[in-house]
């Protein structure tokens, strides 16, 4: 059930370089959202910025939902300026959650940049399912790392200022080379080039892999047809990220 909430802001905190964690009260969304789903947020009543912005739900606590965002443009600047008591128009929960199918024992979460966003809520669910957890995070530098509410975390940075010097996918490769994991499954989220590398690695290694994609979407609910991703098989050339994703099995899509 999709819901529209005028959600009061409960807190809005700078948690890393340019990265905010915004918490709003949105009871019915908080109670029904599952890991990997997102909300579409309107940051103003006016027409600048004009469209809603999609954000993964990062975590929930009771009636509250956490949204993690990077300040990149006008919409996120306005979200960063929201104070306690202000409201945000939030539509959700949207999209298909991460799938837990398959007999995996170890969940490897691989996040690039803000791709870490859905991992806290995913971690909670995986813990409930009694899975072993490994979390690999890639960031530009030590200042950009967000590792709250995660388990068994390893870091990769582009500049080597923390952890492994290199990409998070390279960290994954080296990590699995040094220590094989029992029945692993990968959950990936991040920018498309990183997901593409991750998908290639997973397929090469024969590891099950679910990816959470970003899409340029207007509506988030399947009306605008604006967020296609290429499918690898079947009669349709494209699937919609908003309603058929944002999570996909890496075998089902082609990233470019």
Partner 1 sequence: MIKESFTLRGVEFKNRVLVASGTFGYGNEVKELVDVNKLGGICTKSLSWKPRDGNPPRRIVETPSGMLNSIGLANVGVEYFIREKLPYLRTLDTVIIANIAASSIQEYCDVLSLLEQQEGIDGYEINVSCPNVKEGGLSFGTDCSKTREITARLRTLTAKPLIMKLTPNVTHISEFARAVEEAGADAISVINTVIGMAVDIYKKKPKLSTVTGGLSGPAIKPIALAKVYEAAQVVSLPIIGIGGIMTAEDALEFLLVGATAVQVGTANFIDPSAGVKVAEGMRSYAQRFGVSDLGQLVGAMESNKEFSVLQSWL
List binders of partner 1 among 153-182 (CB under 8 A). Answer: none
CA 11 to chain centre: 20
**What is the per-residue DSSP string for 75-91?**
HHHHHHT--TT-EEEEE
- By the 8 A CB rule, do 4 and 41 touch? no
Residue 183 within binding range of partner 1, rule CB under 8 A: no
Q: Which stretch binds partner 1 (CB under 8 A): 19-27, 129-137, 142-150, 216-224?
A: 216-224
Residue 218 within binding range of partner 1, rule CB under 8 A: yes
Least Å distance, CB 163 to partner 1, is 29
Residues in CB range of 122: below 8 A, 6 or more apart: 35, 36, 98, 107, 109, 187
The residue assigned the tokens 């509250």 is 64
Instruction: Report the residue from 152, 236, 251, 254 that binds partner 1 according to the rule CB under 8 A.
Output: 236
What distances in angstroms separate CA 159 from CA 34, 40, 68, one per listed residue? 34, 33, 23
Instruction: Report the residue from 127, 129, 159, 216 that binds partner 1 according to the rule CB under 8 A.
Output: 216
Residue 191 within binding range of partner 1, rule CB under 8 A: no
- By the 8 A CB rule, do 159 and 141 touch? yes
Least Å distance, CB 73 to partner 1, is 9
Tokens for 76, please give them.
């996120």
Q: Reduce the DSSP state of residue 212 to 3 states and report it.
A: strand
Sketch the per residue contact string, 49 through 88, with partner 1: x for CB under 8 A, - otherwise: xxxx------------------------------------
Shorter beta-carbon distance to partner 1: residue 149 or 216: 216
Give residues in contact with partner 1 (CB under 8 A): 1-4, 42, 47-52, 91, 215-219, 221-230, 236-238, 243
């Amino acid at each position: 059930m999709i819901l529209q909430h005028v959600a009061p802001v409960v807190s809005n905190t700078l948690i890393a370089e340019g990265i905010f964690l915004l918490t709003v009260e949105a009871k019915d969304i908080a109670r029904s959202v599952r890991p990997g789903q997102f909300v579409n947020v309107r940051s103003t009543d006016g027409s600048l910025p004009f469209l809603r912005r999609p954000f993964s739900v990062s975590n929930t606590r009771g009636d509250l939902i956490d949204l993690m965002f990077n300040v990149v443009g006008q919409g996120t600047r306005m979200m960063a300026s929201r104070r306690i008591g202000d409201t945000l128009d939030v539509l959700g929960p949207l999209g298909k959650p991460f799938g837990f199918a398959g007999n995996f024992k170890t969940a490897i979460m691989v996040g690039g940049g803000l791709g870490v966003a859905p991992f806290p809520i995913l971690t909670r669910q995986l813990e409930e399912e009694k899975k072993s957890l490994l979390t690999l995070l890639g960031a530009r530098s030590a200042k950009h790392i967000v590792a709250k509410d995660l388990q068994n975390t390893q870091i990769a940075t582009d500049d080597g200022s923390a952890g492994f010097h290199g990409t998070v996918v390279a960290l994954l490769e080296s990590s699995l080379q040094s220590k094989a994991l029992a029945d692993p499954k990968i959950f990936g989220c991040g920018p498309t080039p990183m997901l593409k590398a991750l998908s290639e690695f997973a397929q090469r290694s024969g590891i099950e892999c679910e990816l959470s994609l970003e899409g340029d979407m207007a509506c988030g609910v399947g009306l605008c047809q604006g967020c296609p991703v290429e499918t690898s098989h079947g009669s349709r050339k494209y699937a919609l990220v908003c309603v058929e994703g944002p999570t996909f099995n890496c075998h089902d899509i082609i990233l470019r």
